[in-house]
Chains A and B, each alone.
Chain A
Amino acid sequence: DPQKYKFRTMRQNLIDASDVLDEQIEIFTKIIQEHYNLSPNQFSDPTIQSQSEIYTVGRIVPDSPTFEGRLNTESIALETSRILGIGRRVRLDLSNIKELSLFCGQIVGLRGKNANNENFLVDEILSLPYPDAPVSTEEEIKGFQENFNNETMKVIVTSGPYFSETNIDMTPLIDFVDKINNQVKPHVVIMFGPFIDLTNPLISSGSIPTFPNLKIQPKTLDELFTKVMTPILKTINSQIQVILIPCTRDALSQHASYPQDSFDRKQLQLPKNFKCFTNPSTFQLNETFFGCSNVDIFKDLKEVTKGGETSSRNRFDRISEHILQQRRYYPIFPGGTRNVKIDKEKKIFKHIAGADLEVPYLGLTEFVGNVTPDVMIFPSEMPRFARVIQNVIMINPGRFIKQKGGKGTFAQITITKPSLEDDKLTKMENDDESVYLHNVWKRARVDLVST
């Protein structure tokens, strides 16, 4: 519900924040109990000594509150919920575990024993069940088939910045609009911010030139968008739906925390084929569920790994599985921060940006309806990718333009029409009517194209 994102910012309450952090552990305690068919009384407090093996649930945290830097297998603790262990934390002994990937903020289920009152010896990390995939009824599928004239649905995904850190040149954006209008002709374009990146040194240091083509110069960053970028975006063919998703580094949004309210289309002076969505947001294009989140989880999630099998896997695959298992678009806590060194000798750092988590509202970043989207998009500064993980298509479209102005990339997704005849949809027998898994991963193709 987008209305829920319209809260006022800059007023976090510590108690509300801790309520949400406690609730996350409680939610997963139920999920784990149900999935493993365990009764609540098989779960107990891992922070107190006991002679028998127990099951427990908690959050992965560092073993010292002042711990900085990267965790290692010797420095990990488990935080309990208020109910299970009155919020106490206990150091984990992971020497019995051969393969693992853990990160701060992760909710885990464990089996083990606290024999010495000092640490909890873990015998098993219970893998969390993946949430269900979305389904459609036969009738819905037939409706979706009629929606498009051509065979496939074409969606283009771009992620800002849209101009470089060396000059405010809009040629790449103009060329892109020309390309989608005349060559690609997609049904939908999803554009992620930042459109005006406050951490771009040109913007933060005020090094903004005059625009010779403009009679009246922009006076603010909002006007820089409406006078310089809006006229270009307006030339996108009005038959193409454009979805804009903000970023907390974007000057266009006064809501500077995540979860983040949508832009105001009218303020941006954009026509009606533009839709402004929240960050994160989940929405349906035809039958396909899209999940979009614009905080750099693939950069921020720093795992502790152990074991050859785990570390030989692709890092993006491991992180993708974490996101799916945690059922949240940004399961890291505390969120990432970005600092710059302002004094090399004295090693003084200045905070410039971060995940900017609005902790009391993190509930809005959970998967809607406990269902995994068919396609998930997470713009990241890490190398672009498109991969299928647990039957979900995970995409990082990459930056539209490189820092110094070199060509970036965008993602082109084509999804063939859902058909009841070609066996690509999986029929799920239900009590009253049969429903179908979308299997978008079997019907889609993702290309990462140079801009």
Chain B
Amino acid sequence: NNIDALQPLETTISDMERFKDATTLDLHCPNCSSEFPFGGIVPSNHYLMCYNGLQCKNCEKIFSTIQLTSQLESSIRSHISLYYAGWLICDDITCGNVTRQISVFGKRCLNDGCTGVMRYRYTDKQLYNQLLYFDSLFDREKNKNQEIKPLYHEGDPDFPTEKLNDSSIRALSEQNRELFEVNRGVVQKYLSDCGRRYVDMGSIFEFMA
């Protein structure tokens, strides 16, 4: 359909734009139970990427690989499950009906007299972008080039006080090569089953043909 035909353009949009609705990867320290968002090799008041992995700033514990991958995988799966909860929303803003009911005419709004069109509130495109966002967090090149979506904006109460310099970001990206590859493998496991990705690739192919 028409929406799919627009897909090739997607590859040209920046990660910042593509990931604007993506939610953070929230981690829990298995040692001291503090909770914080993880955003790759970026400044944070709560964690530090050091040469041998992810370290909690609160208790100085270094996460084992599986302590990170299991949380990443749980996060991915709760996103997939939320997608499959199948919430729909009516596009007529004066109606805004939000429901998990589907009419036998899928796009018809079930509110009497409403001519709005129903669509999935959590779209497959959003889910696909969420997976790509998780993938970017463990992408060595993107970390090196500081292309990851920032966790905080200036003025946020939690805005990190310290900064990271370019050379240490580059060094840390290399030192955490294996850890990052294992995590990317977890995201790829789901991307490989993601129907949306094949639409993306399929239409790129058509575009070139």
Contacts and interface: CB of A to CB of B under 8 A. Distances in A.
B83 A204 contact: no
A66 B182 contact: no
A224 B64 CA distance: 13
Contacts, number: 174
Interface stretch (B107-115, B136-144, B150-158, B159-167): B107-115
Interface string A210-237: 1000000111111110000000000000
A22 interface: yes
Contacts of A79: 103-104
Given A219-B69, A223-B66, A11 B194 contact: yes
A10 interface: yes
B46 interface: no
B105 A203 contact: no
Interface residues of B, number: 56
B186 interface: yes
A256 B80 contact: yes
A80 B63 CA distance: 55
Nearest to B98: A66
Contact of A351 (B67, B81, B196): B81
Interface in A56-96: 61-62, 65-66, 79-82, 86-87, 89
Contact of B102 (A9, A21, A223, A350): A21
Contacts of A10: 80, 83, 124, 127-128, 190, 193-196
A251 interface: yes
A17 B88 CA distance: 12
B197 to A, nearest CB: 8
Interface size, A (range): 35 or more
Contact of B97 (A66, A87, A255): A66
Nearest to B28: A205
A207 B66 CA distance: 9
B81 A11 contact: no
A81 B195 CA distance: 29
B71 A204 contact: yes
Contacts of A62: 101
Given A9-B193, A205-B30, A351-B85, A87 B104 contact: yes
B102 A17 contact: yes
Interface string A1-31: 0000001111110110111011001000000
B84 A206 contact: no
A297 B67 CA distance: 32
B82 interface: yes
B74 A203 contact: yes
Interface in B82-102: 82-86, 88, 97-102
B192 A206 contact: no
B11 interface: no
Nearest to B68: A206
A14 B106 contact: yes
Interface in A347-387: 350-359
27 contacts: A9-B195, A10-B83, A12-B86, A17-B106, A21-B104, A62-B101, A65-B110, A66-B99, A82-B104, A82-B105, A89-B110, A198-B78, A205-B71, A206-B66, A208-B30, A220-B73, A221-B66, A251-B70, A255-B193, A256-B80, A333-B102, A334-B100, A351-B85, A353-B81, A356-B80, A357-B86, A359-B102
9 closest A-B pairs by CB:
A11-B195, A18-B106, A8-B195, A14-B106, A356-B84, A65-B110, A334-B100, A204-B74, A65-B99
Given A206-B70, A255-B193, 16 more contacts: A10-B80, A19-B106, A25-B104, A65-B111, A87-B108, A208-B67, A220-B69, A221-B73, A224-B66, A224-B70, A254-B190, A334-B86, A337-B85, A355-B84, A356-B84, A359-B86
Interface of A: 7-12, 14-15, 17-19, 21-22, 25, 61-62, 65-66, 79-82, 86-87, 89, 198, 203-208, 210, 217-224, 248-249, 251, 254-257, 333-335, 337, 350-359
Interface of B: 27-28, 30, 63-71, 73-74, 77-78, 80-86, 88, 97-108, 110-111, 118-120, 124, 127-128, 182, 185-186, 189-190, 192-196, 198-199
